[in-house]
Amino acid sequence: MTSPRRPNRHYPYIDRGPAIYLDSFATIRRESNLAGVPASAEKLAVRMIHGSGQTDLVDDLVADDRLVPAARAALEAGAPILCDATMVARGVTPSRLPANNEVLCFLNEATVPGLASDWGTTRTAAAVSLWEPHLDGAVVAIGNAPTALFHLLEMLIDGAPRPAAIVGCPVGFIGAAESKQALVDFAAEHGIDIPFVTVRGRRGGSAMTSSALNAIAQEEE
């Protein structure tokens, strides 16, 4: 097998990894208005912008000032991360985790399709029910399915163990904005006060959510 050959340069672009990394975060800080973001969540916001490519994300960001300290303390104590989607779980950088934390996603468990069919809901929502034995003090990350976030909130209303923190950023056109508003209103409406971060509206997704987890896991950008 012959060695690959680098093509001739036809475009001017930065191609050194460390330089791209540094310039990216410098650009985000230069172009984003972070004034309204709690100090404890500033690096979280920067990483979420980095994961989405949207500097106006801060306009819709709702970040509890307790979120990062609470979630980081939980991870340092060995808590697992519970993810609604495989893409969220795979986006977590293992080297950033402070205690070799488990990153769990039960979407592909054998019982999930049957539960979803019996309950008339999505597989992602059904998989959230399998979180219950791991939920107490965990860090929850929902970046895909609004039904998963609604299902989690309903479990908590019904008395499920409380996680240490919720990263709730499902994406989509049906239920995404509504599920995230339910998270914003959750403490006021149900008296269950859990630190959280979310993004109002339709925006969200796996990359944004795993970026938030990576920021929580380690302070360094």
Q: Considering 10, 50, 134, 151, which one is annotated as catalytic?
A: 50
35 inside domain: yes
Q: What is the pLDDT of residues 75-130, one digit of tens each?
A: 999 999 999 999 999 999 999 999 999 999 999 999 999 999 999 999 999 999 99
Q: What is the pLDDT of residue 215?
A: 95
pTM summary value: 0.93
Query: 3-state class of 158 per DSSP?
Result: coil
147 inside domain: yes
Q: What is the pLDDT of residues 200-213, one digit of tens each?
A: 999 999 999 999 99
- Given a contact cutoff of 8 angstroms between Cβ atoms, the answer to whether 83 and 57 are in contact is no
Q: What's 82's domain CATH number?
A: 3.40.50.10230
101 inside domain: yes
120 inside domain: yes
Q: In terms of residue numbers, what domain contains 159?
A: 17-217
The CA distance from 211 to 182, in Å, is 22
The CA distance from 210 to 171, in Å, is 13
- Given a contact cutoff of 8 angstroms between Cβ atoms, the answer to whether 159 and 187 are in contact is no
Phi, psi of 52 (to 5 degrees): -110, -20
Q: Has 50 been annotated as catalytic?
A: yes
138 inside domain: yes
User: Residue 181: which residues within 8 A CB-CB, separation 6 or more?
Assistant: 200
User: Residue 47: which residues within 8 A CB-CB, separation 6 or more?
Assistant: 211, 212, 214, 215, 221
89 inside domain: yes
90 inside domain: yes
Mean pLDDT for the chain? 95
The CA distance from 105 to 127, in Å, is 8
69 inside domain: yes
User: Residue 175: which residues within 8 A CB-CB, separation 6 or more?
Assistant: 146, 147, 150
The CA distance from 101 to 18, in Å, is 27
Provide the number of structural domains found in the chain.
1
Task: Please say if the pLDDT value at position 221 is more than 70.
Answer: no
